[in-house]
Amino acid sequence: MRHIGYLATLPGLILLYGGFSIPLIVWLAVETGYDGPVFFWFMLALLQSIKLFWNSPPDRWWQNAKYSFSVALLGLMLAAGMLTKFNSLIAWFCHF
């Protein structure tokens, strides 16, 4: 993919990560446990934490309603993962 100049593009990354995630998706489809919902909540919490912590927080973030709502939403996503299964305790420490 690098030789044809497709690796560093958005479609190339989507193809690469999509292709490599197929075994995980098949395993989650066959598995009859709570790993699928835990993975779902973990990915949502990871997305939300990237949105929050990629840049430095704004000054007086507690007065910014949108940022405060995002922090509360991240907490709810982590709590939902904890209510789904105990092994999502790992998700609490991956974002900090």
Residue 32 DSSP label: -
Structure token digits, residue 57: 């927080």
**If you search the block for the tokens 């993962």, which residue do you land on?**
81
Q: How confident is the model over 54-68, as a mean pLDDT?
A: 80
- What φ, ψ does residue 34 adopt, rounded to 5°? -95, 10
Q: Which two tokens stand for residue 53?
A: 């912590």
pLDDT tier at 62 (50, 70, 90 boundaries)? confident
In angstroms, how far apart are the furthest CA atoms of the chain?
49
Query: What's the pLDDT score for residue 26?
Result: 79
Mean pLDDT across the chain, nearest whole number? Answer: 77
The answer to whether residue 95 scores a pLDDT higher than 60 is: no
Higher pLDDT, 91 or 70: 70
Q: Domain map of the chain by residue range? A: 1-30, 34-93
